[in-house]
Chains A and B, each alone.
Chain A
Amino acid sequence: MSATAVHSLWTTAAVEPLNKIPAPHIEYTQLSPVLIVIGAAIISVLVEAFVPRKGRYVAQVFLSVLALAAAFAAVVALAAGGYGTTKAQIAAMGAIAVDGPALFLQGTILLASIVAIFTFAERRLDPADHGHKVDSFAAEAAAVPGSEQERAAVKAGFTTTEVFPLALFAIAGMLVFPAANDLLTLFVALEVFSLPLYLLCAVARRKRLMSQEAAVKYFLLGAFSSAFLLFGIALLYGYAGSVSYATIARVVDGAVVSVDPALADTMGNDVLLLIGFAMVLTGLLFKVGAVPFHMWTPDVYQGAPTPVTGFMAAATKVAAFGALLRLLYVVLPGLTWDWRPVMWGVAIVTMLGGAIVAITQTDIKRLLAYSSIAHAGFLLAGVIAATPSGISSVLFYLGAYSFVTIGAFAVVTLVRDAGGEATHLSKWAGLGRRSPLVAAVFAVFLLAFAGIPLTSGFSGKFAVFKAAADGGAGALVVVGVLSSAIAAFFYIRVIVLMFFSEPKADGPTVAVPSALTTLTITAGVVVTLVLGLAPQPFLDLANQASVFVR
């Protein structure tokens, strides 16, 4: 290959005279949701550094909730200003798209994050330790579990308020992820939200070793998948000579206006394209937890502090599916015939795999993890539809699912015994007799997971399956229906356990939460029922938001 026939972003830039490099043009208004959250995250780090220990908790909770609410308000203002529809555009020099799907998903992530932050801030569930209120996070994450140092930290009433800046950074990354409009932004966003999550997984107050093990697993596998993604990006850049979504799409479609020699050399090379694309896809499927890239999910969901699990299960999934949608619909519509069969296979094994393996689980958090895998399969069925109704159904499903998930994990934090949360299923026996209200709420969430009519789970599932059937994937609908039937079995089993079994004498107690967790759970129930009974306004919203800007 000659020297000129190499794509030369950096070399050409170096040759150009300095004054010709344009200053980047940033649309601050359109990017305000992300900027607010990043700004708050940085302030939050400063709070960690300068505010006295006593005031930190209040300051952090206040700052986080305020920032997320402000960012959500910004999203709403942008959507109301028409940026989701008529004024949809590409901002920040082509790096970030401001369009319907991006705004919808950012709104969903922000709302889910607000209620998740409430569970982070909960300090009523565990009894006070040495007179200090405690939350779900370790007193001092760096201390070796069981060591003298840790005991001293607990005695001194340390708390890991660092979780708030970490969560804010993660949220900022998640906001960018579905809006990323070039592959490098995509990668940066992925790392920005992944790294804080690895840390958050490791800081559980109880069962520290499991929590740290989960974090290491998540980090190793996550790093591995990031490497895949990055390598795929490199190959795609090699293929198209650009990391911009729009340019790659043009090259794939053969619609490039001016072909320079380097591009002429590579654009016929389908090997680069297909392998690169497959690797990028692998990275994204890892994040959504699709089979066969799901292995980390049960361990991480089980080991991570439960509020973090809920946050991760909801918000990460939303962000990752957003990115996947944009990649498939904006960059590679020209490859639909290539990716559909692969995604068919992935969707089928994900639906069946998640549902079947979940049956054998004995831990409620692992069970919910496998259930989240099965749900990823249902979502993939909607993604595969490759129609506008496919996009809107996935958007709707994500909104519905994230609230059920956060609510369900919030209920898990309530059921406790001497060792912290009692997550083993046998301990949940007879919960319905001892605490009818909590058990009933959890039953509502389980029925929504199972997709029983009049819950949001059914509306979402129906929307996705309808889109899939419309898009010619009738067989997927049949598999989806069958795996729903399998999945129903284990959701029902938990309900049986809660209501029809006699409570055990040494069973767990249900902690009375503060207003924060109560608010989270209430929001979950309300959204579940409203989206089940009257989903139309939200379907309208998802429909309006279902056009990607190119």
Chain B
Amino acid sequence: MSFPLLTLTAAVPAAGAILTAAVPAARRTAAKWLALLVSLATLVLAAVVFVRFEPGGERYQLTESHSWIKDFGVRYELGVDGIGVALIALTALLIPFIILAGWHDADPLETSSKRWRPTQGFFALILMVEAMVILSFEATDVFLFYVLFEAMLIPMYFLIGGFGDRAHSGSDENAAAQRSYAAVKFLLYNLVGGLIMLAAVIGLYVVAGNFSLTEIAEARANGSLEMATNTERLLFLGFFFAFAVKAPLWPLHTWLPNAMGEATAPVAVLITAVVDKVGTFAMLRFCLGLFPEASKWATPAIIVLALISIVYGALLAVGQRDIKRLVAYASISHFGFIILGIFAMTTQGQSGATLYMVNHGISTAALMLVAGFLISRRGSRLIADYGGVQKVAPVLAGTFLIGGLATLSLPGLAPFVSEFLVLVGTYSRYPVAGIIATTGIVLAALYVLVLYQRTMTGPVKEEVRTLPDLRARELAVVVPLIAVLIFLGVFPKPLTDVVNPAVQHTMSDVQQKDPQPTVPNVEAAQ
């Protein structure tokens, strides 16, 4: 038996979560350091996975397979393809920064009871989410994936509802009510999506008799497993609905602004940069992999929804008065791009979408975490409460600008590469969709630059005058993220090398070839 590397990448944060939770109430700082070390150890393991993975080799590598629940035809099956590797790397990369950024977010109030241990809980929950997300990127058994997809809601729910943003307007009670509203909305939306997927998972079992992604795909390819057209479409819709809620796709997106607005900035990053990626990842792996025909059937509708997400999210971002909600709507717009890239069914589109998942994670983390530092200084999320910050805290403003520029896909920063690929990939098959999507970029420039202008430039507001600049801990969060953004912006090859073969496999799943570039018929014109 080979070394269970993939299990280990998930088991380390899971064990770390349990240990962190067990740290005594008085040793808060020890719990923080423990969590940070565990997340760094996970990063090392993820790096090993990245290196051990051979882009040109088998589709699923480092596989593990054990019997789990024989009765349900469920196996504990793991394996990664290039897309999974890239997203595991993203997750493992972001978690240490999330932990570092949230270092003081869960310190107990003076008035709290002695037995209440929020700090230990906060970091344990983050590590638990990390473990589940990583394992869900590795699962090649549909049931195992489903279990993780649902189970990760619970720690997320406690992170959103239990550790709200201390910066809020109004009374404590009001804030608590809004926070628990956001947490419940998050949970219910995702739970309903998940339960509908459960019906589809059971349906898949009735049709296919097992849950192994590879076995089902193989059986479908060689014709031993036939699905009636309607069955396939219904199952596809069951799966897609859950992923579209998670992703989130318009019109199922309304939980995201609430959740990101009320959660602390690091948790908001965890939601949008890490957990939501499971949704788009699953579209690629499960929707296209298991139901290729139905995916093609649904493509026009999904492309329309993705376009609406892009434009609608961007428009609402322009109109936001709350910094965190602005980032949330920008994310909705970006998820529209990712889904557009996936369902354009071209190599460029899908590689672009995968890169987009990684780059969006890093750029949003940079922007949101700096925004979080800013908000924690001033104690307000409203854009109107800021002004002239760049004169008071130039480093903060500068890093905020870079995060913003990454969000609007400035060439030279990583998101540009992916956004360009998505647009090119879309244009080659659906020119009109490509053109409409481009407006999303224009609007992105608007909401990012207006945000920067209103908060950072102009006359210095009275309340802002005393804001300190970024501290060492905060710099340690932001600087590496920006370095990665620049590195992947000018040299995306390590990532594309890993991703491209996986995308080729997905393309062959759906039996799609890239459309040949056509040249206008010159001879006929003469």
Q: Give me the interface of A with B, judged by CB distance under 8 Å.
A: 433-436, 447, 452-454, 458-459, 462-463, 465-466, 469-470, 474, 477-478, 481-482, 484-485, 488-489, 492-493, 496, 499-502, 534-536, 539-540, 543
Contacts and interface: CB of A to CB of B under 8 A. Distances in A.
Interface string B42-56: 000000000000000
B345 to A, nearest CB: 30
Most B C-beta atoms less than 10 A away, residue of A453, A458, A496, A499: A453
Q: Is the interface of B mostly helix, strand, loop or mixed?
A: helix
Interface residues of B, number: 40
A454 B196 contact: no
Contacts of A500: 161-162, 176, 179-180, 183
Given A466-B202, A481-B195, A496 B69 contact: no
Contact of B117 (A434, A436, A484, A534): A436
Interface string B93-107: 000000000000000
A454 to B, nearest CB: 5
Interface of B: 67-72, 112-113, 115-117, 146-148, 150-151, 153-154, 157-158, 161-162, 173, 176, 179-180, 183-184, 187-188, 191-192, 195-196, 198-199, 202-203, 205-206
A466 B69 contact: no
19 contacts: A434-B113, A434-B115, A436-B115, A452-B153, A462-B198, A465-B199, A466-B206, A474-B203, A485-B195, A488-B188, A489-B188, A492-B157, A496-B180, A500-B161, A500-B179, A534-B69, A535-B69, A539-B70, A540-B71
Nearest to A474: B203
A485 B191 contact: yes
Contacts of B188: 485, 488-489, 492
Contact of A462 (B72, B148, B196, B206): B72
Contacts of B180: 496, 500-501
Contacts of B68: 534, 536
A463 B161 contact: no
A459 B151 CA distance: 13
B161 A499 contact: yes
Given A436-B117, A465-B202, A499 B71 contact: no
B317 to A, nearest CB: 28
Contacts of A477: 199, 202-203
Given A436-B115, A540-B70, 12 more contacts: A435-B115, A436-B116, A465-B199, A469-B205, A469-B206, A477-B199, A484-B195, A488-B191, A492-B184, A496-B184, A499-B158, A501-B180
A411 to B, nearest CB: 17
B154 A502 contact: no
A474 B198 CA distance: 12
Contacts of A453: 146-148, 150-151
Contacts of A478: 199
A220 B176 CA distance: 46
B227 to A, nearest CB: 15
A543 B70 CA distance: 12
Contacts of A493: 184
B240 to A, nearest CB: 16
The 4 closest A-B pairs by CB, nearest first: A453-B147, A539-B71, A500-B180, A481-B195
Nearest to A462: B72
B215 to A, nearest CB: 18
A496 B177 CA distance: 10
Contact of A481 (B112, B116, B161, B198): B198
B203 A485 contact: no
A186 to B, nearest CB: 30
Contacts of A462: 72, 198, 202
A433 B108 CA distance: 11
Contacts of B71: 463, 535-536, 539-540, 543
A454 B151 contact: yes
User: Which one of B71, B113, B180 has the highest number of Cβ atoms from chain A below 10 Å of its Cβ?
Assistant: B71
Nearest to A472: B206
Given A453-B146, A453-B150, A474-B203, A465 B198 contact: yes
A454 B113 CA distance: 31
Given A492-B184, A500-B162, A500-B180, A452 B202 contact: no
A433 B187 contact: no
A489 B115 CA distance: 28
A377 to B, nearest CB: 15
Nearest to A542: B71
A454 B155 CA distance: 13
From B157, B158, B180, residue with most partner A Cβ within 10 Å: B180
Nearest to A396: B71
A465 B206 CA distance: 11
B176 A452 contact: no
Given A500-B162, A500-B183, A481 B199 contact: yes
Given A436-B117, A501-B180, A482 B195 contact: yes
A493 B198 CA distance: 22
A501 B181 CA distance: 12
A470 B204 CA distance: 11
B199 A539 contact: no
Contacts of B117: 436
Given A496-B183, A500-B180, A466 B72 contact: yes
Contacts of A502: 173, 176
Contact of A501 (B70, B176, B195): B176
A463 B71 CA distance: 9
A465 to B, nearest CB: 5
A492 B150 CA distance: 14
A536 B74 CA distance: 10
Contacts of B115: 434-436
Given A465-B202, A469-B202, A500-B183, A536 B154 contact: no
A167 B37 CA distance: 54
Contacts of B173: 502
A499 B176 contact: no
Contacts of B116: 433-434, 436
A534 B67 CA distance: 10
Given A453-B147, A492-B187, A502-B176, A536 B196 contact: no
B179 to A, nearest CB: 7
A462 B153 CA distance: 18
A122 to B, nearest CB: 23
A42 to B, nearest CB: 41
A539 B158 contact: no
A466 B192 contact: no
A478 B147 CA distance: 18
A466 B205 contact: yes
B151 A452 contact: yes
Of residues A462, A466, A474, which shows the largest number of chain B Cβ atoms within 10 Å of its Cβ?
A: A462
Contacts of B183: 496, 500
Contacts of B191: 485, 488, 492
B70 A536 contact: yes
A463 B72 CA distance: 8
Nearest to B153: A452
A500 to B, nearest CB: 4
A489 B206 CA distance: 28
B158 A433 contact: no
Contacts of A458: 147, 150
A19 B314 CA distance: 95
B151 A536 contact: no
A433 B147 contact: no
A406 to B, nearest CB: 23
A481 B151 contact: no
B184 to A, nearest CB: 6
A424 to B, nearest CB: 19
Contacts of B70: 536, 539-540
A493 B183 CA distance: 11
A250 to B, nearest CB: 33
A496 B147 contact: no
Contacts of A454: 147, 151
A118 to B, nearest CB: 26
Contacts of A499: 158, 161-162
A433 B203 contact: no
